[in-house]
Structure 1
Amino acid sequence: MSNTDKYAVLGNPIEHSMSPLLHEFFAQKTGQELCYGRILVEAGTFEKTVRDFFKNGGRGCNVTVPCKLDAYKLADSLSDYAKAAGAVNTLKVMEDGSIYGDNTDGRGLVYDLKRLSCPLTDASILIIGAGGAAKGILLPILNESPKEIVIANRTVAKAQSLASLYPGKVKGCGFDELDCSFDLIINASSSSLSGELPPVKDEIIEKAQAVYDLMYSKTAQTTFTQKASSLNVPKVSDGFGMLIGQAILSFELWRGVKPDFDTAIKKFRPC
């Protein structure tokens, strides 16, 4: 086992992470030999934990909260997506021993939105929330050439600051300023974690063709997707497919082979 390439997911808390199940399934389906575990990172120990892991045969790792900024700082080189997100969720040891950082979250989202046939190109898109999750998905969505992206947030200045990273392409505003309809609404806030609804008017939600919540639930329904379903939005989804998508892209970065998205979805969410 000592010669087997090692991978892991690092974060705190970490025991709930599905990453080992996903990557072991990917390895089995693509004929790759590896082992994948979970590593709890105590406060202030991220760099030492990662370097020790790599020293002992680790070839790459996924990084979850609250360590994505630490991973960004640790990486010797960064993908354009990691630079745009200002955070890293995937690390890889390169042939020269340097550490490469990527962020696959936003592309994982776009992957799933396309699978679900949600409007992207020439679409009017509302993103709820202006934190790290919203920042991480902006560049991949902009690459799909939407008509407009509006970021709505309780703290208007935060939404405007995030929008200013892409002048002329993204607009930031407060919830009370929303007065038009959107083809796609993405909840990038953490409201569903606490069972709350973001303050978006029903008449805006019900006009959408698709609603997507970055959070995911075992029941496949979050507070926000339940609301959208009750308003008869045609396409409603939580973020489980994004979880699968970002993991597939990490696996591809490490192993050079791409697991099948639909096979993984059917395995882990058969309904």
Structure 2
Amino acid sequence: MILFGKYMSILFKAQMQYRTSFFLLSLGQFFVPFSVFAGLYFLFARFGQVEGWSFYEVGLCFAVIHMAFAISECLARGFDSFSSLVASGEFDRLLVRPRNTILQVLGSKFEFTRIGRLAQSVAVMIWVLIHLPIEWDAIKVVTLILMVISGVFIFTGIFMLAATLCFWTIQAIEVANIFTDGGREMAQYPLSIYKKWVTRFFTFVIPFGCTNYLPLLFLLGKTTGPDFIYMLIPLVGVFFILPCLLIWQFGVKHYRSTGS
């Protein structure tokens, strides 16, 4: 973690060499998601509710998933741009260093300008929580925190899987965006509004449902059962990273060097 912190410090100092550019990009990241949120607002202004979900309830779902995506995109950007390391042969250098390749790829790139997107998500979350009649207790607070953490791990795992494909395809393939950008757009709504097969896929295969839908039902008081179960459900999303790590190790073992 000390090395990881040094990676972050070095890259942050590098990006701050052009402070005007940094702040303008951060500002852009703050306002761009508002177009998506505005679409959400006008949708509910026209129809009132969607499948029994109100605007503020869906707004909480929106805030959680966008917050998780912003954090993951900042910290796991190295995997998202991993194809350049393979294509240029730079990954060979990572292999001969006495540190784990995952740590080195994570530390190869950080997008600190995503703090703008994160700030926008926090602002939306505060606004919708003010309007939601949630009776808060320690379990619900922990559940909300775990929802965001779970989303970070799921998006990071997807970035990692997409990067692993580069060992065979060299260049990143656009189909991976179905589960990153597409997953973000899909998961900003409760899964109950989709077809059954979509709900099942994004609950048992890629567990976005364990990040926002099931815990969201608990926060809003729409379900019954032991509270601790719903508090722990987001951990399924955290465990999603484990098979991703194994697949990454499999890809590293089968990586064919550039030979230069």
What TM-score does the superposition give when structure 1 sets the normalisation length? 0.25
Larger RCO (CA under 8 A, 6+ residues apart): 2
Q: Greater strand percent: which structure?
A: 1
Q: Greater helix percent: which structure?
A: 2
What TM-score does the superposition give when structure 2 sets the normalisation length? 0.25
